[in-house]
């Protein structure tokens, strides 16, 4: 099991796992839609490094952007107006980044990571809806039938399979991480 909060992954790894084009990733970074948990300082430039949680947030933003046709850049500006609450059922500011951060709770993510490590997927669902006051509301459940009681009779909502999405991101990150680890002791480099 790897630490889901540790920044092991480059921007290229995030782009690959999250399914975003590198140019789009750079635009998201410039606009603050996603924030790297750590910046690695190289000789002449800075390199953003990302955790499994950050990669999941980017993947969730991409999925919601693609499937709900919400302008990610416009929602960033709206999301900067108010802070989000990080508990299910609370209103989150309208930005997709704010929603992704609110949904990305360590409690359920660690549970899903452990279930992936045991090869017993955890089918966790999130129901989200955008409210008239330009905020998001979300709930987490294992049974989709319970969401109807959480929203009003005329409130539409979308169900997102956050457990499956996070599980996929976690598996891909483990593959990348294990590919980066040195295979046995290194032989010393000879001077030429």
pLDDT band of 77, cuts 50, 70, 90: very low
List of residues 6+ apart from 116 with CB closer than 8 A = 167, 170, 171
Structural domain boundaries of the chain?
11-178
Q: Record the tokens describing residue 13, joined without a space.
A: 């790894």
Beta bridge partners of 39: 48
Inform me whether the pLDDT recorded for 89 exceeds 60. Answer: no
DSSP state for residue 118 in the 8-state scheme: T
Sign, CA torsion 74/76/80/84: positive
The span from the CA of 192 to the CA of 125, in Å, is 57
The strand ranges marked E within the chain are 38-41, 46-49, 91-93, 125-130, 135-141, 158-160
| Contact present, 101 and 57 (Cβ < 8 Å) | yes
Mean pLDDT of the chain: 77
Whole-structure pTM value? 0.77
163/112 Cα distance (integer angstroms): 6
Residue-wise pLDDT for 95-113, tens only, equals 666 677 767 777 888 999 9
């Amino acid at each position: 099991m790897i630490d889901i909060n540790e920044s092991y992954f480059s921007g290229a790894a995030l782009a690959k796992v999250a399914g975003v084009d590198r140019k789009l990733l750079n635009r998201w970074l410039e606009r603050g839609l996603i924030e790297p948990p750590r910046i690695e300082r190289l000789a002449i430039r800075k390199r953003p490094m990302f955790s499994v949680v950050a990669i999941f947030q980017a993947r969730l933003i991409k999925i919601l952007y693609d499937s709900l046709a919400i302008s990610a850049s416009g929602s960033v500006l709206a999301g900067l107006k108010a802070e989000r609450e990080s508990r299910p059922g609370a209103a989150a500011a309208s930005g997709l980044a704010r929603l992704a951060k609110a949904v990305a709770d360590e409690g359920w993510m660690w549970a899903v990571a452990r279930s992936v490590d045991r090869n017993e997927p955890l089918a966790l669902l999130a129901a989200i809806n955008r409210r008239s006051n330009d905020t998001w509301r979300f709930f987490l459940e294992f049974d989709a039938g319970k969401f109807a009681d959480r929203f009003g009779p005329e409130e539409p909502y979308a169900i997102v399979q956050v457990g499956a999405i996070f599980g996929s991101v976690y598996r891909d990150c483990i593959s990348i991480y294990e590919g980066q680890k040195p295979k046995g002791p290194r032989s010393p480099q000879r001077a030429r």
